[in-house]
Every structure is written in structure tokens, then in C-alpha cells.
Structure 1
Amino acid sequence: MGYYDTQQVCLNGHQTTDNYHRSPEFRQKFCATCGAETIHKCPNCNSEIRGDYHIDGVFDFSRTPVPIHCENCGADFPWTKNKEKLSAKNFESVSVDHFKLIEQICSRFHLVVKQLKIRHTNRETLVVNDEYDVQDLLHSILHIYFDDIRPEEWTPSYAGGCSRVDFLLKNEKIIIEVKKTRASLKDKVICEELMVDSQRYRTHPDCKKLFCFVYDPDGLISNPRGLENDLNMKNDDFEIKVLIVPKGH
């Protein structure tokens, strides 16, 4: 039999995690999307908001829907009015934010790695030991949402040389760069490499956005949020997003 975890949601209805207890590293006091305070209990009856249903050995990549009423007392959650307004506009077409979708996928990557370690009767699994393992697993997950994924695409020459990017989403004009920390690849080196990468990828004809995913399972980066803030950038014709996962070591 499985069990329900708890989800954490901001007062505007943005879910931060549906594995509040099982993966505490994803908790946030304030919403990364809108800055509102987050809660994991009903303000009316103090019961926890039901989250992911977990069964050992079974992997489910979907997110738990954010409820609009408390299942224990029936009271409206603070975000219910906003949800109802959105429902009233369901006739309007909604465009997919592919950049945000990639961020959501990568933000849950560590959960996927942890789940893969739990296999029925100890069957063989993918062990994420190095950067190539990260690329292989992420490539597989991206196929759920994207049709045209071009691995190891060559970039045009920059500063006398050229290199390959990890993934090019040609239709979405997004390049995904993947790195995994190790003893010789920590804060300073990661920062330097990503700065060079960002300049190089600006010259790629199919790149309008660069997503840099840094997998740091051993917590080798001392200030992940600071590094993200230093490198994130957005202007009229180019955007860079750096995401370090997991945090909270």
C-alpha cells in the first residue's frame, strides 16, 4: 500500500512541491513564481494539504493537482477565487511556456534519480554517476514533452573555436546545457564555464534562450541561489536561466 505526502502551495495557488516530507529540499517559504507566502496546511482546520501518492518501486512523474477546497473541512483555500477566475476563462487559448516547462522538469530531476534507485527485486537501473548519465536521463524525460530534440549540436565558431551544445530544441529555439558538479567542477569553475557558454550560444542561429541545468547531488556549490542570481539574465533578444538542483544541503 502507498501513502500520501503533503503539498506546499503559495497563497496564489502555485505549487512548490507535492513531496513536502519526502523531499524537504524542495520546500520554499515564499513562491519563486510570484513571491507569495507558502502553506502546507489548511488555514481553517490545520490539516495538511494532500500531496503525492507514493508507492515504493513505482515512479510517477506527474504533479498532484492543487485543490481548491480542503478535503477535511471543506473550506476554500486562499487561492480559490483566483482559480475560479481562471476556470471562467477556460475558453481562451493558453500558450505553453516551454522555458518554464524545462525548469519544472529539471527542478524535479533529483526526485527521478532517487526513485530510480528503488527497483522491484533490486533490478538493474540507471545510476547517475557523471554528466553523461545526467544527459541520458534528461534526454529521455524531455521526449515526453518535445518532439525535435537535437543532442550535441555544433555551435558556430567563437573566440577561435567551436563546441557542441548538449540539447537543441530547434522549434522552441532553446538550448539546454547540462553540467554535473564534481570535485574539480564547483562554484568558480561552473560560473566561468557558464559565462563562456552564454557568449558562445548567442551566436547560434536557433538559440533565443539558454537553459543551464547544474545537477549538484552532493551539495558542492556553497551558494546555489547566489550563483543563479549572478548568471540569470534577460533582455530583448536573449535569455539565460541557470537552475541548480538540488538545494538545501
Structure 2
Amino acid sequence: MGKYDAYLVCENGHGVNDSYYSSPSFNKEFCTTCGAKTFKTCPNCGNDIQGDYKLENVIDLSGGITPVPDICKHCGKDFPWRSKKQKIKENIKTNDKNDIFLLETIMDRFHLVAKQLRQRYNERETLDIKDEYDTQDLFHSLLRIYYDDVRAEEWNPSYAGGSTRSDFLLKKEQIVIEIKKTRSSLKSKQLGEQLIIDIAKYKSHPDCKVLYCFVYDPEGYIINPRGIENDLNDDSKEMKVKVKIIPKGH
């Protein structure tokens, strides 16, 4: 006979550890994919979220991942992430897209996609995100799921004697997406300085009403990602600025 372990899941529905009790070393307070807080109990009834099924004296070597449930088996109510999944499906079907929601979804799941690409059959070659160009290529591919007109490397007007290129322009939606990947020479201080300069330059871009700065930080160089996001995010009417650093919770 066996029994179910508890499942540690983040608020966005990413499975963190399907063996909460039997493999506690994998438990994390925050999701390494999106940075959201994790929990193992249903927010409605307080019972454990159903995780991996454990058989006594049997070791599972399959390496399979237990699917994250959408509904609590104890109270029958939806987990918080089920409505988010449904909203994604609705956005794909409609022409009246919620662009901010779609871009947030791509960014939240970017690290999950990058990790999945490494797990190919028979160790076949794949895309390993080693630098900023790799990050741009993968992000560009994900944008193509939702957008037909994605313009790469659109030149911006000069600012303070210099010029820059935005990585992607969604002209119809008037959204510019700046892509960065951290490295040993691009940590918190250098990143903050670059973003401040970029934000100032993009304010003169004729097609930029929303500037999205996506920072991929798989090695955890950024010590306080939420602090940088909070300092630079801006909801002003002239140009909204949204900074997203993924993953968090290192």
C-alpha cells in the first residue's frame, strides 16, 4: 500500500516539489521559475495538495513529474492558478488580446521553457541560454505565438549623444521590449544603471507607450530583484515602464 505526499506549488501553478515530506531538501519558499510564494496546502480548506504517490519500499527511477492539480480533491474548489490558465486560453482565442497579461505570461514561464529545452531525447542538441543573444532568440520565438508583427532591433533616436536599439517592437500595440541577461559583469548596480539610461532614451520613441524590460537572471546575480522592479516600474501616462526579473527566489 502507498500514500500521497504533499505538493509544494507556487501561486502561479508551477510545481516546485511533489514530495514535500519525503524530499524536504527540494522545498523552497519562493518559486525559482517566477519568484512567486509557494505553499503546500489548499487555501480554501487547508488540506495538503496531492503530490507524488509513494509505494512503501519501492524507489521510483522513472523521473516523471507529477502534474499540478487544478482542483482540490478535498473540498472540490479551484486552486488559484486554474483561473489564470483559463484566462490564457481565452486570450489566445480572442482578437481583443490583453497584451500585458500575455507578455507577463511569456516572462513568467520563460525560465520553465528554457529548462525544458535542455531535456531532449537521447541528449540531442538544443538551445542552451548562454548569453543575451540566446535569450533574445528564445523570447522572439515565444512572441510569435501571439503576435504576427514583431520587429527586431528598431533604432531609437539619439539621447545625450548616443543611440540604442530596442530588441523588439510591437508597433501596433506600441510596446517596446528590451531584453537583458545578467552575467558576472552585469549585476545589480550595472543593471540598474543601464535600465535608467534605457528608460530615458525610450521616452522619445514615437511608437513606445509601454516599455517592458525583461531581465533573465538564471545564475542569481541580482540580490534584490523585487527592489529593482519596484524602483523602476512606472505607470505614468506618457510611457508605462515595467521591469521583470526572472527567475527570483535564489
TM category, shorter:
0.7 to 0.9
Q: Distance in 2 between matches of 1:57 and 1:21?
A: 12
Deviation string 1:78-136 (CA, Å, 9 cap, x unpaired) is 87xxx7xx99xx9xx99432122112211111111111111101100011110000000
Q: Distance in 2 between matches of 1:27 and 1:188?
A: 21
1:16 lines up with 2:22 in the alignment: no
The one-letter amino acid of 1:160's match is G
Q: Distance in 2 between matches of 1:205 and 1:121?
A: 48
The percent identity for this pair of structures is 46
The equivalences for 1:134-173 within 5 A come to: 134-173=135-174
1:73 shift after superposition = 3.2
1:27–1:173: structure 2 CA closer, same or farther, 3 Å change rule? closer
The one-letter amino acid of 1:16's match is N
2:21 maps to none
Q: Distance in 1 between matches of 2:79 and 2:246?
A: 29
1:185 maps to 186
Q: Verify the 8 A CA contact 2:234 2:241 in the aligned structure 1.
A: yes
Q: Distance in 2 between matches of 1:173 and 1:126?
A: 30
Q: Verify the 8 A CA contact 1:57 1:115 in the aligned structure 2.
A: no
1:35 maps to none
1:141 shift after superposition = 0.8
Q: Verify the 8 A CA contact 1:179 1:215 in the aligned structure 2.
A: yes
1:173–1:65: structure 2 CA closer, same or farther, 3 Å change rule? farther
1:106 maps to 107
3-state SS of the aligned residue for 1:212? strand
In structure 1, stretches of 5+ residues that fail to align are: 10-14, 30-37
1:189–1:96: structure 2 CA closer, same or farther, 3 Å change rule? same
1:33 maps to none
In structure 2, stretches of 5+ residues that fail to align are: 1-5, 19-27, 53-61
The one-letter amino acid of 1:173's match is Q
The equivalences for 1:27-66 within 5 A come to: 28-29=36-37, 40-42=40-42, 43-44=44-45, 46-48=47-49, 66=70
1:162 shift after superposition = 1.9
The one-letter amino acid of 1:155's match is N
Q: Distance in 2 between matches of 1:65 and 1:170?
A: 38
Q: Verify the 8 A CA contact 1:20 1:27 in the aligned structure 2.
A: no
1:204 shift after superposition = 0.8
1:176 lines up with 2:184 in the alignment: no
The one-letter amino acid of 2:17's match is H
Q: Distance in 2 between matches of 1:150 and 1:73?
A: 48
Point out the more displaced range, 178-187 or 156-165: 156-165
The equivalences for 1:185-224 within 5 A come to: 185-224=186-225
Q: Verify the 8 A CA contact 2:167 2:178 in the aligned structure 1.
A: yes
Taking CA–CA contacts closer than 8 Å with sequence separation of 6 or more, which of the two structures ends up with the larger relative contact order?
Answer: 2
